[in-house]
């Protein structure tokens, strides 16, 4: 499926852009994560890698649908 | 009362402590997080903060709500800065007012510890010879 990925912090550097249409095999956050790491191995080096949909953190089993907007949340460092 | 702000302009300690002023409060703790000039013996020139703004505001609100409930706080203000910050500038202010002082210290510590764990804000350290996203790698 095709989803719209938005990246912040180091995730934006790894993707090379803020927004990207990403195509992959699967229909969950977990599968998206696997596909992203496969294509951009630098994601595997991060301390953690989380995802948000509709401004909420979502777990690996969260179901994705075509054209959904998913935000990549690399390790946060506010404060 | 909860006041959450994500701002690209300088934060005000006076404003935050005023926001949480309450006649029923016996203690107010204000935490001020500032930009330090070094990290692991390297000289930091400035910090660049970026946020996933709508979610950052939501997550800060959740923390304030939990802080109020868990510590019986009367008022809580969390203000966070984004953009490019120089040494000494304020990155975050957390102000909590409670009836008694002990809870105010605990509540404020809880809020800043949580903020560092869950709020989608990122800072990049800018050195003379490079840049590093803080906490990105193990």
How far apart are alpha carbons B43 and B82 in whole angstroms?
A: 21
| B92 interface with A at CB cutoff 8 Å | yes
DSSP state of A28: B
Nearest CB partner across the interface for B120, out of A10, A47, A76? A76
SS3 B18: helix
| B79 interface with A at CB cutoff 8 Å | no
**Residue A8: which pLDDT band, with cuts at 50, 70 and 90?**
very high
SS3 string, B40-89, reads CCEEEEEEEEEECHHHHHHHHHHHHHHHHHHHCCCEEEEEEECEEEECCC
Average pLDDT across chain B, whole number: 97
Nearest CB partner across the interface for A77, out of B52, B112, B122? B122
CB contact (8 A) between residue A76 and residue B137: no
**Residue A57: which pLDDT band, with cuts at 50, 70 and 90?**
very high
How far apart are alpha carbons B83 and B96 in whole angstroms?
A: 25
pTM score: 0.96
Check: CB of residue B79 under 8 Å from CB of residue B16.
yes
CB contact (8 A) between residue B122 and residue A8: yes
The predicted-structure confidence for B78-112, as pLDDT tens digits, reads as follows 999 999 999 999 999 999 999 999 999 999 999 99
Element (H, E) at B127: strand B121-127
CB contact (8 A) between residue B91 and residue A79: yes
Instruction: List CB contacts (< 8 A) between B116 and chain A.
Output: 76-79
CB contact (8 A) between residue A78 and residue B52: no
- H helix count then E strand count, chain B: 3, 9
Instruction: List CB contacts (< 8 A) between B58 and chain A.
Output: 55-56
How far apart are alpha carbons A71 and A52 in whole angstroms?
A: 5
CB contact (8 A) between residue A77 and residue B92: no
The predicted-structure confidence for B55-68, as pLDDT tens digits, reads as follows 999 999 999 999 99
């Amino acid at each position: 499926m095709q989803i719209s990925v938005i990246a912040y912090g180091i995730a934006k550097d790894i993707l090379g852009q803020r927004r990207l249409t990403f195509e992959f095999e699967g229909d969950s956050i977990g599968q998206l994560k696997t596909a992203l790491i496969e294509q951009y191995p630098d994601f595997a080096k991060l301390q953690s890698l989380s995802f948000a949909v509709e401004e909420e953190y979502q777990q690996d089993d969260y179901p994705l649908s075509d054209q959904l907007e998913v935000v990549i949340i690399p390790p946060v460092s506010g404060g | 009362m909860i006041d959450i702000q994500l701002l690209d302009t300088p934060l005000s300690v006076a404003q935050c402590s005023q926001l949480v002023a309450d006649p029923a409060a016996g203690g107010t703790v204000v935490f001020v997080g500032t930009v330090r000039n070094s990290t692991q013996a390297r000289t930091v020139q400035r910090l660049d903060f970026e946020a996933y703004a709508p979610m950052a505001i939501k997550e800060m609100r959740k923390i304030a709500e939990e802080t109020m409930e868990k510590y019986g706080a009367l008022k809580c203000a969390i203000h966070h800065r984004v953009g490019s910050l120089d040494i000494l500038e304020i990155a975050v202010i957390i102000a909590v007012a409670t009836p008694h002082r002990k809870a105010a210290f605990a509540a404020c510590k809880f809020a800043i510890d949580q903020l560092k764990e869950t709020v989608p804000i990122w800072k990049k350290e800018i050195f003379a010879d490079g840049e590093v996203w803080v906490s990105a790698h193990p």
